[in-house]
A and B are shown apart, each in its own frame.
Chain A
Amino acid sequence: DADVTQTPRNRITKTGKRIMLECSQTKGHDRMYWYRQDPGLGLRLIYYSFDVKDINKGEISDGYSVSRQAQAKFSLSLESAIPNQTALYFCATSDSKRISSYNEQFFGPGTRLTVL
């Protein structure tokens, strides 16, 4: 079973609709992230959370909100979707308590979102 899962894997929605992307992890990591990938722009950070009560904006948070329901769950919401939010969305996790200093991030499989 995958350690970091995202649902749905693909979603088509219409402008103005509210949509939620969900991320779950079984790695026991405390830190979770949401990134968005656009062609020619790489991945950009939307929001990140160091624990359930610590949520921070990333570089492109406008139009998005998040919820850390539990250590293992981190959801991304688009309150009113618009076409330029069409992108590939990734959730990632890392463990701040690891002995290794790299604190490697582990990524989910991504959600392809299309806003018409």
Chain B
Amino acid sequence: AQTVTQSQPEMSVQEAETVTLSCTYDTSESDYYLFWYKQPPSRQMILVIRQEAYKQQNATENRFSVNFQKAAKSFSLKISDSQLGDAAMYFCAYRTKQTGGSRLTFGEGTQLTVNP
């Protein structure tokens, strides 16, 4: 079974600075999907960014980018020019590509605080 680990329960960053959230995972599969979700105080789960394992190029969505290190099984999220609205709980998630597999396996979450 796959596992996802987020070793930083809490992180903080100054507004306009850059922060990196860590995520590692364990799998025996060679192709899969990885996701970062954001959960603001409203509780809504919002997809931030996604990556396919076979794509070597790191995904980027505006101020959000990932550093995908497949051999190290690492999938970190970098937030540039942090804004107050980025304050939230962030979850890393894994999904298999196997037929019939659409369930997500989540990490424990990292609570990000943005200081003005």
Contacts and interface: CB of A to CB of B under 8 A. Distances in A.
A33 B103 contact: yes
Contacts of B47: 104
A110 B104 contact: no
A50 B100 CA distance: 9
Nearest to A9: B43
Nearest to A96: B102
Contacts of A84: none
A45 interface: yes
Given A102-B50, A107-B45, A110-B43, A31 B108 contact: no
Interface of A: 31, 33, 35, 40-45, 48, 50, 58, 88, 90, 92, 94, 96, 101-105, 107, 109-110, 112
Given A50-B100, A112-B43, 20 more contacts: A33-B103, A33-B104, A40-B108, A42-B6, A42-B91, A42-B107, A43-B91, A43-B104, A45-B103, A45-B105, A48-B103, A50-B102, A58-B103, A92-B45, A94-B102, A102-B33, A105-B104, A109-B43, A109-B44, A110-B44
A33 B102 CA distance: 10
Interface residues of B, number: 24
B112 to A, nearest CB: 15
Contacts, number: 55
7 contacts: A40-B9, A42-B106, A43-B91, A43-B104, A90-B45, A107-B44, A109-B43
Contacts of A40: 9, 108-109
B102 A31 contact: yes
A41 B53 CA distance: 24
B15 interface: no
Most buried by A among B6, B9, B50, B106: B106
Interface string B90-110: 010101010010111111110
Contacts of B105: 45
B43 A88 contact: yes
